[in-house]
């Protein structure tokens, strides 16, 4: 497997980690600089409203959400890409959503044996 890393590095104007573990990074770059796929869903646990809020965009501002096709600027492929549908405002947020998992109680649920 080959990992493609962006040759350019972009400086974010905002970088934070939310209480739920999501890493939120905002950039002032044109969308064509980000390897985004707006037909794909981001990895992890998220909601449309939650991603828009984390990005700092109002829902009525024309928000679009997709996922990174490959790693970008240190963000893993599958991270959420949130942007405004406005060419005059080139703001993009990349959000690394936390992965959902549950803890086991340690009790075996299934057993197999050869009889």
Q: What are phi and psi of 66, to 5 degrees?
A: -145, -160
76, 69 contact by CB (below 8 A): no
pTM: 0.74
| Predicted pLDDT at 5 | 43
Q: How many CA atoms lie within 13 A of 27 on its CB side?
A: 19
| Predicted pLDDT at 108 | 54
Residue 111's pLDDT band (cuts 50, 70, 90): very low
Structure tokens at 62: 């024309």
Mean pLDDT of the chain: 80
Does the pLDDT at position 58 exceed 60? yes
| Predicted pLDDT at 21 | 84
């Amino acid at each position: 497997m080959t990992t493609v890393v962006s040759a350019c590095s972009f400086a974010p104007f905002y970088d934070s980690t939310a209480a739920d573990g999501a890493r939120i990074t905002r950039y002032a770059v044109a969308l064509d600089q980000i390897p985004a796929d707006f037909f794909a869903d981001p990895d992890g646990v998220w909601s449309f409203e939650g991603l828009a809020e984390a990005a700092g965009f109002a829902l009525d501002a024309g928000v679009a959400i997709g996922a990174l096709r490959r790693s970008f600027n240190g963000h893993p492929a599958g991270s959420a890409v949130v942007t405004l549908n406005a060419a005059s405002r080139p703001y993009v947020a990349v959000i690394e959503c936390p992965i959902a998992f549950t803890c086991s109680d340690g009790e075996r649920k299934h057993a197999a044996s050869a009889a």
